[in-house]
Amino acid sequence: MRLLAFLSLLALVPQEIGTASFSTKERKRREEQVPEEGDASEVLPLGSDVLSPDNYGEVIDLSNFEELTDYGVQPPEVKVTSLAPATRISPTKSTAAPKTPSSNPTMTRPTTAGLILSSQPYHGLPTCLVCVCLGSSVYCDDIDLEDIPPLPGRTAYLYARFNRISRIRAEDFKGLTRLKRIDLSSNLISYIDNNAFCLLHALRDLILQENLLEALPVLPTGIEILDARLNRLRSSGIQPAAFRALGKLRFLYLSDNLLDSIPGPFPLSLRSLHLQNNLIETMQRDVFCDPEEDKYTRRQLEDVRLDGNPINLSLFPSAYFCLPRLPVGCYT
C-alpha cells in the first residue's frame, strides 16, 4: 500500500517541474521581446500563445484602461456641396412657419344677398352688376328676378332661367334689334304681351319651357326654334295658322301641354314636331299633307311625335301618307 502511494508521487513530481520550468523560460523570452518606445506595431505580440487563466493578465493588460483620452462629443462632419454661405440655425428656435389646422376647402355658390333685385330701376345698380355680361351675352340665371331687367343695346343672347318672372311686357325688349336667342326657362310666366317679340326680326331661338303659359303671342317671322314644353297651352290660345307664316321654323316643341288638336298647318321648313303628352284625339286630313296631291312627299318633316295622346293614328292614314316616316304614337 505504501509502495503504490510512493510510485504515484514520483509520477507527479517531473510534470510539475516541467510546467514551472516552461513558465520561467516563457517569461524570460517575453521580456526579451518587449518593443521599443513608439513602436505601435508590437503592442500586442500574441503570436501563437493560448490564453489561459494563468497568463490572461500578461497578454492583455487592462490596468491603464481608464487613462484613455476622452475626446468628448464630436460635432458631425459637414460636407460642403455648394458655394452658398451657410446659414446658422439656432438649435432652440425653428425657422419654419407654425402649421395651423385647415379645414377642407369647399365651393360655395355665390349669392345675391344684400342686392335689391327689383327690375325698376335696380336702385341705381346697372344690369351688368346684377347679371353677368360677356360680350353680347347676358346671363341672369337664378337670381330671383321678377321682371326682365333693362338690357344693354348690344345684347344678342339673353339667359334669364330659374327666376320668378311672371309677365313679359312689350317694352321689355324694345329697341333690342340684335337679339338672337331668348331663354326664359323655368320661370312663372303666365302672360306675354302680344307684341313683345314681333319686332325682334333677328330672333332665331325662343325658349319658354316650364312656365305657366296658356297662350302664345305673335311670333317674329325669322324664328327657327320654338320650345314651349311643360306649360298650360290650350288650342284656343294659339292663333289659327300661327305657324304657317314662319318660313324658317325648323323645330317646334309643344309637348306636355293641354292641346286638344294639332295646331297646323305648318311651314315646309319644319323638320321636328313634338306634341306628345297632350289631349289630342283627332287630326285634319291636310294637317301635314295635301290630299289632292297623291304623289306629294314632305321629306323634311322626319320627326313627328304624338305618343301620350288619346288618338288612334290608324284611323287617319290620309293625314300623314306624305311623311317620310310614320308619326310616333298609338295605332291600336
Whether 173 has a pLDDT exceeding 70, the answer reads: yes
Side chain identity, residue 19:
T
Q: What is the pLDDT of residue 296?
A: 78
Instruction: Give me the mean pLDDT over the 78-104 stretch.
Output: 46
Q: What is the pLDDT of residue 5?
A: 60
> Which range, of 137-146, 181-190, 225-234, 284-293, averages the lowest pLDDT?
284-293
Q: What is the largest CA-CA distance in the chain?
A: 163
Using the structure block, give the residue that is written with the C-alpha cell 460636407: 79
Q: What is the pLDDT of residue 10?
A: 60
Using the structure block, give the residue that is written with the C-alpha cell 301635314: 288
Does the pTM surpass 0.85? The reply is no
Ranges assigned E (strand) in the chain: 132-134, 137-139, 157-159, 167-168, 181-183, 191-192, 205-207, 225-227, 251-253, 272-274, 303-305
Cβ burial of 162 (10 Å; 0-12, 13-18, 19+) is middle
Which has the closest alpha carbon to 179: 187, 190, 168, 189? Answer: 168
The answer for residues whose C-beta is within 8 angstroms of residue 199's C-beta and 6 or more apart is: 173, 174, 177, 220
pLDDT band at 112 (very low <50, low <70, confident <90, very high): very low
> Which range, of 81-90, 196-205, 288-297, 301-310, averages the lowest pLDDT?
81-90
> Which range, of 17-26, 38-47, 48-57, averages the lowest pLDDT?
38-47
Whether 106 has a pLDDT exceeding 90, the answer reads: no
